[in-house]
Amino acid sequence: MAKEYWRWPEYRMTVGEKDWKSGKIITAGIDVGSVSSKTAIMVDGELYAFSLMRTGSNSPDSAQKTLNWALETTGIAQKDLHYIVGTGYGRINIPFANKAITEIACHARGANYVWGNTVRTVLDMGGQDCKAIKCDEKGKVTAFLMNDKCAAGTGRGMEVFSDLLAVPIEEVGELSFKVETEPQPVSSTCVVFAKSEALGLLRQGWPKEKVLAAYCSAMAHRVVTLLEKVGVEKDFVVTGGISKNVGVLKRVEKELKTTALPRNAKYDPQLAGAMGAALFAKALVEKERK
Amino acid sequence: MFEQMQNWYDKRHAYAKEWKKNHPGGKVLGCFCTYVPEELVYAAGVLPVRLLGSHEPQSVTEPHIFGMYCPFCRDVLAQGLQKRYDYLDGITISQSCLHIRQAYTSWQMHVPTGFSYYLPMPNCVQSPHALSYLKGEFLAFKNALEKWTGNEITDEKLRQATELVNTNRRLMRQVYDLRKQDNPPMTGLEAMYMVVSSQMTDKNDHSKLLEKILKELPGRKMDRQTGARLMIIGSEDDDTAFIKMVESVGATLVVDDHCTGTRQFWNETELKGDVLTSIAKRYIDRPACPSKDWPERRRLPHILKLAKDFNAKGAIIIQQKFCDPHELDIPAIIKDLKKNGIPSLFLEFDVTVPIGPFRTRVEAFLEMIGQDDLF
Amino acid sequence: MITAGIDLGSKTIKVVVMKDGKIIGKAIGLSGFDQREAAEGIFDQALKMAKVSRADIQSIMATGTGRKEVLAKGPISATGEVTEVTADAKGAVYFHPKARTVIDVGAEEGRGIKCDATGRVVDFATNEKCAAGAGTFTEAMARALEVKLEEFGKLSQQSTKTIPMNAQCTVFAESEVVTLVHANTPKADIARSVHDAIANRITSMLRRVGIEEEVVLIGGVAKNPGFVDALKRNLNMNITPLEEMDIAGATGAAIIAGEK
Amino acid sequence: MAGAKYPTEQLKCWNKAKEIRENYYKNYAQAHDKGGLRWAGGAWSLGAIPAGLGDDVYPITGEPYGASIAFNKEFSIRCMEAAESKGYARDLCSYMRSYWGSIILNEYAFGGPFPKPDFMWQDHICCSHAKWYQVASELEGGVPVFCIDAAAGPYDEVTENRINYLVNQMHDGIAWLEKTTGRKYSDEKLIEAVHNECDATSTWAEICALNKAVPAPLEEKSMYALYVLGTLMKHSKIVADFYRELLDEVKDRVKRGIAAVPNERCRVMSDTQPPWGFLKIFRYMERFGCVSIGSLYTFGLIGVWEVKPDGTWGPRTTPRQKGLKIENRDQALRILADWNLSKPEWQHFYSPKLKSEMMIRIAKEWKLDGILLHYNRGCEGLSLGIAENRLALQKAGYPVMTFEGNMGDEREFDEARTTARIDSFMETLGLKKLE
């Protein structure tokens, strides 16, 4: 089997320092996306543990796996969870979740948690969709837009490219800056066309990094168009898998002439949705207990 | 309560064939647009049926209509090419958008029926000259119908037909009025079945059922929560799967601005003086299709009034992909609704809609306009 | 007369050597990034099989998207070039004389060709922009379903269910697939739906040229039995996947090389 | 191998055409400096009517302006994206989006800010026409708009009732112009403009008819540069005079056997507008000895035609040629209405059959070997029924190649694929590249 360059690393961590048993409300947010599945475990609204893995071809399984993995070694059992909120594409099919909330609401809520209440615009770049979200100081969505057809498949598109160019997906972003001058973006962000265009460029003798630069900037441009339709207000943050790709992120910032708040070292931005879900779970528990 | 209407809609072809059996010599006329004057068609003893698509992927229209035209017009033509309307005796279109006109002209060429008539409905309905022009065209249409059917269309017959069509319009408005209640006794899906079926059944049958429904409807108890009250705005829309999805995630559609909805039946023909002129006036004054809403934007106040009267808390705006007339109105509608405190969600429709991605958008929209208790 | 046809596709390169209308050598290999270098090697393989030397070849005709590469100076100097459309039709009729409609579906492009008994093109259609990527789409979907590409077609044959899927844009169709996955739809049903969607688009394109029997299928996707079934269903007629589906274009080019 | 060689020559009035176009855009921008008025509207609007307001009333027509933008790829993309960011769909008419973008960015394609018109004067036959200026007016902060509904065809079914509808609107339009501009209206100037329009559009048809000659004296790429003057101000004396001059020159070319393409050995036509940024595809075809002699688009958008006694297509006889004296406003408007309703490019709105018939006629009389149809995503109006035209042309025995693109949005045109398609098509026509 050939090396799968698109495969990004899966991982889990326990970050909570105090004893979870002293917590009053223990919740989980499970984000089953089109490409990745994430679980955030929270104790009294503080991130305690999480996991991030690839979504399989069955969403209840994916949800269960990512939850189990997040709980692993923490000593928390599934039955100890007071409430579970599911989100992401697979949210409608997580049998053990108490409630489903969309990833749009969850990303806004999660961003508010990670970066604080000054966040007003969230850009979520996921596997299938891109979302430009505006929210208030509580992290409640006030407006949102999702990509149209021609810009679908953002994350998947990046996987296709990393495979095509035999560049490990985590290195795509950095590599795309190893060009002397920024090339014209590829004319299309459509995965199908971009791929055939890229092949043509390679045959013309373009180096990989230049092709990647052209693709990253095309993707950035498309995302910026979406953002401009909603209107970008500060503070601006980026979540989702592609947010880790500096090749896209920096080009988005450059075109918007705005910088996003820097990545909060404590939290993986791909987890924002799961964290938002876990926070909603907490709010729902509080509502029930009232 | 509305099962019969759903049945009519689902089995539209069986209904029309049955109608012909029960009306020996009766003709069925396929109509491509709701600007076709039903009064005239009924007066000729003909059953008008609105031609709609089937929401199934197909591969037969590609040689006839270039893919940049709206999926609806292709879906409609596909029905003809697949011989699903083989019982039609004629087809007609009134001038509206170019997209659907292609379905008509290709149908005319490749699925010939005995009678086909292009009715040049004025586009500038706001012009003071539109009325006399349309009256003249209605006269020509009337003559063509007479020649085709051999039935003379007298003023008396026109009056009777007007009453028949008006009654149906009036009854549907009465049903719509009940949707203004805090907990509407019906779903948007049921309303959709009602209006769409009225476009493909004999108004006599449809009104009879409506009268029965109107007796029971006010006391009807729904076994569902109303949830968020939404309005739906857009082009042709008989996408029941989409409506069902919206109403399954915590919302109820309470009113619409669709040509498969209120635009078709909202106003009545007022018989005053010359009958044909009265009927023409009705079509000039009806809630406009965007292709005819210029130079002034009269749709905006109309839509806003519907939203207020029906207490809509948000609006879903849908558009057939590539539909230019709607695309040219939507930014103004979104802006106007927003200015008046009504948030909206815009979605682009195709023959089949991707329920999953749309569900996410709709749910997020509902979360946005509600769920304050989680913060 | 000894001639050669060389077909430079985006993924693979095919070479056919013919002597007086008979194939005496053939070779297939990957294009890679340096098509010209790859072409050299594959060409030599075919010559080896044909037991002839470069000097014996009287005429070489190049086809395929990369044909300009070969025409540009290089050890293999083609006598001329011909488009895939013309070469495909010629080759298909050579292998299957009754063929009047040729379908060629590759990774990114699809085309339908109507031809006469001599293999001359009467009309053709290639897919429009937004209906591209049949091969790419199947690959991505197989990955999403965690099924090996080779098994994806077979899997679809296990289903009898029709799930309508938007046939136009493959990328957006992908999110419909994701939705189906999350709604616990059996993999076989999804696989069938994917194949139906592609077949629908190909059929749409074919109807433009008008379909005349017999219909033959060439190109990479022809190897996928699920796709062949879906296409038969959609067209409601018999379709013959050519056994020599890979080398039809190269063969056509070799024949044309002899004609000139 | 190579076909017969014909002599070629550059057109003598080329520079003049260029100058007329440059002055047109300059005059529009500078109109106010001279105390004049500016109006904006479509290339099909009945420009002869505002001509009655005076000689210092300068138009800008939206379609050719949109096409001008398309030639500047960088500006074009910025314009379209500006329109998109305001929420206007990407699949709308690309001229319209470019035009709006130019307003939104407040940049004029010919330098400086976008000159705001004093009024908008449009007519409506495709779904976008009236709405184009409805939106433009909104973007400009409320410029008065008058729009005449001209969708009262097809010509072979025109009745008194339909003509009246148009003429009544025109009368209203004149009253509106007087009220909006505060100027007194001159019927004399109207009558002169109507004559000019009839003369210019008939002469253009005559020029196109000369392309029946083998070798063709003109090829389509040049025709685009010439027909465009008609889209700017078909009612003006400048254009009528220029077309007369051009007619003489083309007649002379035919007489002397001057060809547009030296190796002409295959004649084709195209249809709908081309992707403006990629006119080189026509040059590419010439490498095969293939000349595009025009299109129903270039012939019939500005040319007005009639069937001559011998059954062939030729220029429509003008009121002047008939010796008709236009006495009053109503008569002038009736002639204008009738003349415009007979425009070939207005017929296919009602049925593709009408367009197919005209195209087959061109194919026969202009001796064509094949036809290229541009499935133009940028123009809903002219792409209407194009797939049916293709079927009809094929049925009539003409090979047809289609290619997808957009007249004004280069993001939707794939040059490499189109060239590949042309290669295949040329092969089916039995043509090889001439080296």
The domain segmentation of chain D, as residue ranges, is 14-428
B57:C197 CB<8 A: yes
- Which residues between 43 and 62 in chain C have a beta carbon less than 8 angstroms from any beta carbon of chain A? none
Q: Give tens-digit pLDDT for B304-355.
A: 999 999 999 999 999 999 999 999 999 999 999 999 999 999 999 988 888 8
D427:C84 CB<8 A: no
CA distance D409 to B274: 51
D81:A229 CB<8 A: no
Name the band, by pLDDT with cuts 50, 70 and 90, for residue B287.
Answer: very high
B357:A129 CB<8 A: yes
Of the given ranges (A88-92, A194-198, D240-244), which has the lowest mean pLDDT?
Answer: A194-198
Q: Give tens-digit pLDDT for D275-285.
A: 999 999 999 99
Which tokens in the block code for residue B131? 């009325």
Task: Indicate if the pLDDT at residue A157 is higher than 60.
Answer: yes
B/e letters for A201-216, b = 16+ CB within 10 Å, e = fewer, are bbbeebebbbbbbbbb
Name the band, by pLDDT with cuts 50, 70 and 90, for residue A152.
Answer: low
**Which of B291, B324, B334, B344 has the highest number of chain D CBs within 10 A, making it the mutation to test binding with D?**
B324
Name the band, by pLDDT with cuts 50, 70 and 90, for residue B66.
Answer: very high
CA distance B267 to B264: 8
DSSP-derived secondary structure letter, B289: P
Residue C229: how many other CB atoms lie within 10 Å: 18
3-state secondary structure chain A: CCCCCCCCCCEEEECCCCCHHHCCCEEEEEEECCCEEEEEEEECCEEEEEEEEECCCCHHHHHHHHHHHHHCCCCCCHHHCCEEEEECHHHHHCCCCCEECCHHHHHHHHHHHHHCCCCCEEEEECCCCEEEEEECCCCCEEEEEECCHHHCCHHHHHHHHHHHHCCCHHHHHHHCCCCCCCCCCCCCCCHHHHHHHHHHHHHCCCCHHHHHHHHHHHHHHHHHHHHHHHCCCCCEEEECHHHHCHHHHHHHHHHHCCCCCCCCCCCCHHHHHHHHHHHHHHHHHHHHHC
Nearest CA-CA distance, residue B269 and chain D, Å? 23
Same fold, C2-86+247-259 and C97-241: yes
Name the band, by pLDDT with cuts 50, 70 and 90, for residue D5.
Answer: confident
Kind plus residue range of the DSSP H or E element containing C68: helix C67-71
Task: Indicate if the pLDDT at residue A3 is higher than 90.
Answer: no
Q: Give tens-digit pLDDT for A251-276.
A: 999 999 999 999 888 899 999 999 99
Which tokens in the block code for residue B191? 């309303």
- Of residues B51 and C234, more confidence is placed in B51
Task: Indicate if the pLDDT at residue A1 is higher than 60.
Answer: no
Contact A20, A281 (CB under 8 A): no
Looking at residue A270, its pLDDT comes to 93
Predicted model pTM: 0.93
CA distance A123 to A239: 6
**Best mean pLDDT range from A225-239, B189-203, C182-196:** B189-203
Q: Give tens-digit pLDDT for C54-63.
A: 889 989 999 9
B341 reaches A (C-beta below 8 A): no
Looking at residue A87, its pLDDT comes to 96
A187:D411 CB<8 A: yes
Looking at residue D435, its pLDDT comes to 72
Q: Where are the domains of chain C?
A: 2-86+247-259, 97-241
Mean pLDDT of all residues in A156-184: 87
A196 reaches D (C-beta below 8 A): no
* Domains of chain A listed by start with CATH number: 11-110+269-289 (3.30.420.40), 120-256 (3.30.420.40)
CA distance B308 to D66: 40
**What residues of C are in contact with residue D396 (Cβ under 8 Å)?**
none
Q: Where are the domains of chain B?
A: 24-151
B33 reaches D (C-beta below 8 A): no
End-to-end Cα separation, chain D, in angstroms: 10
B/e letters for A91-120, b = 16+ CB within 10 Å, e = fewer, are bbbbeebbebbbbbbbbbbbbbbbbeeebb
Looking at residue C130, its pLDDT comes to 64
Kind plus residue range of the DSSP H or E element containing B184: none
> What would be the CATH architecture of the domain defined by B24-151?
3-Layer(aba) Sandwich (3.40)
D323 reaches A (C-beta below 8 A): no
Q: Give tens-digit pLDDT for A20-75.
A: 999 999 999 999 988 899 999 999 999 999 999 988 878 889 999 999 999 999 99
- D373 phi, psi to nearest 5 deg: -110, 125
Looking at residue D1, its pLDDT comes to 38
Looking at residue C126, its pLDDT comes to 84
3-state secondary structure chain D: CCCCCCCECCCCCHHHHHHHHHHHHHHHHHHHHHCCEEEEECCCCCCCCHHHHCCCEEEEEHHHHHHHHHCCHHHHHHHHHHHHHCCCCCCCCHHHHHHHHHHHCCCCCCCCCCCCCCEEEEEECCCCHHHHHHHHHHHCCCCCEEEEECCCCCHHHCCHHHHHHHHHHHHHHHHHHHHHHCCCCCHHHHHHHHHHHHHHHHHHHHHHHHHHCCCCCCCHHHHHHHHHHHHHHCCCHHHHHHHHHHHHHHHHHHHHCCECCCCCCEEEEEECCCCHHHCHHHHHHHCCCEEEEEEHHHHHHHCCEEECCCCCEEECCCCCCCCCCCCCHHHHHHHHHHHHHCCHHHCCCCCHHHHHHHHHHHHHHCCCCEEEEEEECCCCCCCCCHHHHHHHHHHCCCCEEEEEECCCCHHHCCHHHHHHHHHHHHHHCCCCCCC
Q: Give tens-digit pLDDT for D175-196.
A: 999 999 999 999 999 999 999 9
CA distance D119 to B299: 23
Tell me yes or no: is domain C2-86+247-259 CATH 3.30.420.40: yes
Looking at residue C149, its pLDDT comes to 84
A:B CB pairs within 8 Å: 48
B367:A143 CB<8 A: no
Q: Are strands B314-320 and C2-8 parallel, antiparallel or unpaired?
A: unpaired
Which tokens in the block code for residue A73? 């070694």
CA distance C134 to C203: 12
- The answer to whether the Cα torsion of A136, A139, A142, A143 is positive or negative is positive
DSSP-derived secondary structure letter, B160: H
Report the residue of chain A nearest B347, measured CA to CA. A148
Question: Max CA-CA distance within chain A?
Answer: 67
| Nearest Cβ partner for B62 among C130, C179, C207 | C207
End-to-end Cα separation, chain C, in angstroms: 12
Nearest to residue A31, comparing CAs of A80, A104, A89, A96? A89
Looking at residue C127, its pLDDT comes to 77
- The answer to whether the Cα torsion of D132, D135, D140, D142 is positive or negative is positive
**What residues of A are in contact with residue B373 (Cβ under 8 Å)?**
283, 287
CA distance A65 to A39: 9
Q: Are strands B90-94 and B27-31 parallel, antiparallel or unpaired?
A: parallel
Looking at residue D387, its pLDDT comes to 96
CA count, 13 A, side-chain hemisphere, D366 = 34
B:C CB pairs within 8 Å: 55
End-to-end Cα separation, chain A, in angstroms: 56
> Where do runs of H (alpha helix) occur along C124-167?
134-144, 149-156
CA count, 13 A, side-chain hemisphere, D429 = 27
The CATH class, in words, for C97-241 is alpha beta
Q: Where are the beta strands (DSSP E) in B35-178?
A: 46-50, 90-94, 115-119
Looking at residue C72, its pLDDT comes to 67
**Which of D149, D346, D350 has the highest number of chain B CBs within 10 A, making it the mutation to test binding with B?**
D149
Which subunits count as partners of chain D given 3+ CB pairs below 8 Å?
Answer: A, B, C
Give yes or no for a cis peptide into D315 (omega within 30° of 0). no
D414:C129 CB<8 A: yes
Looking at residue C75, its pLDDT comes to 63
- Of residues D29 and B373, more confidence is placed in D29
The residues pairing with D120 across neighbouring beta strands, listed in sequence order, are D40, D145
Q: Are strands A26-32 and C59-63 parallel, antiparallel or unpaired?
A: unpaired
C122:D424 CB<8 A: no
Mean pLDDT of all residues in D377-400: 96
